[in-house]
Amino acid sequence: MIHTDYIEIKKLDQVPRLPIKGNIDLTYRCNNNCRHCWLRIPENSKEKNKELTFEEIKKIVNEAKVMGCRGWSISGGEPLLRPEFADIFDYITSRSNSYSINTNGTLITPKIARLLKKKGSKMIALYGADAKIHDHITRTPGSFKAAMRGIAYLKEEKAGFTVQIIPMKDNYHQFNDMVKLAESLSKHYRIGAPWLYLSACGDNEKNKEILRQRLSPKEVVELDKPDLSYEDRAGKLNPDCGNANENGYLFSSCINSRRDFHIDPYGGMTFCCFIKDPALRYDLKKGCFEECWEKFIPSLASKVKTTEEYKKHCGSCELRKNCRWCPVYSYLEHRKFDSKIDHLCAVSKENLKFKEGWKKNHRRHYKVAGISIQVDSDLPINDNTFDPKFKDFEVKNTGEDSVSIRHHFSLPDISNKDLGKELYRKPPWAIYKKGDSWIYLGIAPSQNDKSLHRIAVFNSDHTRVKIYNAEEGRFLKGNQISLTLFPTDQILLARILADREGCYIHSCGVDLQGKGILFVGHSEAGKSTIANILKDKAKILCDDRIIVRNSKDGFNIHGTWSHGDVPEISADSAPLKAIMFLKQSKENRITPLKDKKEISKKLLSCVIRPFVTVDWWEKTISIVAKIAEDAPCYTLEFDKSGKITEELKNIR
């Protein structure tokens, strides 16, 4: 929602086209007398004549477009009940970049199905796994058959859609069968809101039925599990919605942060579809969109003041951040905005219990080179899930500089998905860039094999990644050698280090009497040999891959879990005092190097490279040049006698 402080508008034709989204209910009428449709108005009701006309809808859509509306959600009741639905749909979608529509599917005809081929989001409601339960919920014999017919028309036209399962007490025993049916009908399904709010009209009989259909708090949380990874990023659950601002107004934060609006079938406009109080809705039949958007809705920020009841209960409740409570639900439940909802109180307790269990059984934290790594998994994580080498790096909590890894164990359907621009293809990876996301596809070695073993979606700076694994068997076996389940975690860490003045280097790193010494070289250069020579005299950080990272006190070397032949590793670090380029010899000799360009060249040849982009390469070159400039560098010739140790101790 755009607040008047957000943008100054002088003339309508000067309004910037900001990306806002509209929600419009075409009708509260429904052809199914559904147990869940508590916003229902009978087909023959006089209220039907109060609904917006097509001409009024066109006027609203045009005004909203001028004000920056780029997308519409169309719903009801049942939107297809409108006789002129096809014309309304065509008009709305031809004047927007995106749309979504919710329907029960029973009125979809071949003509409507062809219309819905237009790219957008289609939600088809499913109330049961068979006609008996589905028709029992809708209270309309034949509604299941009609819905399946409508879905068949959509499939004939290849008009993609999502099946939306509507869970409630009378169909919950069929939930698994409903999921199976949904999967057989479409590539996509979702679960509708698992808790039911009360009716807009406040009818006691309807509300009794809704209360009876509510699932238990445990079932609600099971169907709508909290996403802790998302909540951690957002800071808290629903940071704006329903939380009073410092001046004590319930909707202030919500209005100031929202960029969408809702219009009911009669032209009543406000900032949220759940607002049913007439005093908080603007009549578009008597005014215009601009006035509502610019004046009326912002004025609602100081309309509903907090009360002592709110402060005593929801406003000060320690479970608030785990609760779905919102003033709009309170209004539907009690006809006032400030009262607690006992059912949601119970749900919030189950929510908290789930989160505590998740943190214990599905989450681990690690730290390397000052970077915290949070690993979340849909499958439980136990003491044997990851290789014992990670134990030294495990910590209790995430630090400020953090990376988030989330593991799922099924591959999403990416057929017909726009993955953006392909930037790289060489087994085992094909890499795409779309918007601010990086998409890594784990591909097979054979060109004829089109199967995928993994899909990873990174954010722009690679600090968050969702990893979809093809199967769970390998994970369950335990002793994983990487936190990402990739062949190596360097694919992730080498990327993000460049943004932190750091890099991975093929090297052995040791802490010798408080001095960090880096022994650089490729395979067979002698990194493990020097580690074995020094392991009784120095702390081995790692014998094969070391992170070098700049800090306010200069460069430090950091141990990693990517060891070679010597399993001794450490999560510790040490100030970088010397770089030794290894050269096995029959003599023991340390020779200073002075040519900084030559040193940089040698270091760059040993830098661990992820998928190389121009920005990563430029940053890494700059980092390596600084390392070469700051750290004393030498050629180290040594034999296996161990005599080189004394000379190394003399390095200052």
Domain range for 95 is: 19-226+259-289
pLDDT at residue 245, rounded to an integer: 58
Q: What is the pLDDT of residue 584?
A: 78
What's residue 12's pLDDT? 31
Residue-level pLDDT at 387: 97
Name the domain boundary from 298, 333, 359. Answer: 359
Distance CA 601, CA 283 (A): 71
Which pLDDT does position 39 carry in this prediction? 39
Per-residue model confidence as pLDDT tens digits over 528-557: 999 999 999 999 999 999 999 999 999 999
Q: Is 420 exposed, middle or buried (0-12, 13-18, 19+ CB in 10 A)?
A: middle
pLDDT for position 238: 47
Is the pLDDT assigned to residue 460 strictly greater than 50? yes
Question: What is the tens place of the pLDDT at every residue in 30-44?
Answer: 655 454 443 344 555
The pLDDT of residue 265: 94
- Are 169 and 214 within 8 A, CB to CB? yes
Please indicate, yes or no, if residue 73 is contained in any of the structural domains: yes
CATH of residue 577: 3.40.50
Domain assignment present for 6: no
Run of H or E residues at 346: helix 342-361
Contact assessment for residue 368 and residue 558, using Cβ atoms and an 8 Å cutoff: yes
Residue 327 near residue 253, CB atoms below 8 Å: no
Task: Give 243-309 as a DSSP string.
Answer: ---TTSBTTHHHHHH--EEEE-TTSEEES-TT---GGG-EETTTS-HHHIIIIIHHHGGGTSB--HH
Asked if residue 208 and residue 185 are part of one domain, the reply reads yes
Residue 214 located in a structural domain: yes
Q: What is the pLDDT of residue 386?
A: 97
Does residue 239 lie within any of the structural domains? Answer: no
Mean model confidence pLDDT for the chain: 90
Closest CA to 506 of 606, 605, 576: 606
**Residue 5 within any structural domain of the chain:** no
Q: Residue 147 is inside which H or E element, if any?
A: helix 143-156
For residues 346 and 380, state if they share a domain. Answer: no
Question: Which phi and psi (to 5°) does residue 607 adopt?
Answer: -75, 135
CA pair distance 275, 206, nearest whole angstrom = 19
**What are φ and ψ of residue 162, in 5° steps?**
-115, 130
Number of domains in the chain: 4
Q: Decide if pLDDT at 292 tops 60.
A: yes
pLDDT at 31 (0 to 100): 58
Domain presence at residue 11? no
Sign of the CA dihedral running 76, 78, 79, 83: negative
Residue 222: partners with Cβ closer than 8 Å, 6 or more residues away: none
Residue closest to 547 by CA, chosen among 620, 497, 621, 478? 497
User: Could you count the other beta carbons within 10 Å of the beta carbon of residue 267?
Assistant: 22
Does 252 reside within a domain?
A: no
pLDDT for 16: 42
- Tens of pLDDT along 130-157? 999 999 999 999 999 999 999 999 999 9
Q: Which of 491, 510, 545 is the last residue of a domain?
A: 491
Whether residue 473 has a cis bond before it, omega within 30° of 0:
no
Residue 444: pLDDT band with limits 50, 70, 90: very high
Strand partners for 21? 71, 260
Is the same domain home to 335 and 455? no
Among candidate residues 491, 513, 538, the one where a domain is terminated: 491
Q: What is the pLDDT of residue 280?
A: 95
Instruction: Write the CB contacts of 426 (distance below 8 Å, at least 6 apart in sequence).
Output: none
- Cis omega before residue 428 (within 30°)? yes
Residue 498, pLDDT > 50, answer yes
Q: Are residues 522 and 582 in the same domain?
A: yes
Whether residues 346 and 384 fall in one domain: no
| Least confident range of 14-28, 97-111, 191-205, 279-293 | 14-28
* 474 and 353 together in one domain: no
State residue 261's pLDDT score.
Answer: 95
Give the CATH number for residue 140. Answer: 3.20.20.70
pLDDT value for 8? 26
pLDDT of residue 237: 42
Q: Is pTM, for the whole model, over 0.85?
A: no
Q: Rounded CA gap, 542 and 536, in Å? A: 14
- Asked if residue 24 is part of any domain, the answer here is yes
Structure tokens at 518: 């880096």
Give the strand pairing for 402-408 and 429-434.
unpaired
Distance of CA 512 to the CA centre of its chain: 44
pLDDT in tens, 249-284: 999 888 887 789 999 999 999 999 999 899 999 999
Do 515 and 481 fall into the same domain? no
Do 265 and 375 share a domain, yes or no?
A: no
Q: Looking at the predicted structure, is the pLDDT value of residue 3 above 80?
A: no
The answer on 121 and 90 residing in a single domain is yes
Q: Residue 416 has what pLDDT?
A: 78
pLDDT tens-place string over residues 306-336: 999 999 999 889 988 889 899 999 999 999 9
Identity at 219, one-letter amino acid code = E
- Are 166 and 218 in a shared domain? yes
Same structural domain for residues 465 and 507? no
The pLDDT value given to residue 70: 92
Cα–Cα distance for residue pair 341/196, rounded to 1 Å: 12
| Domain co-membership, 315 together with 401 | no
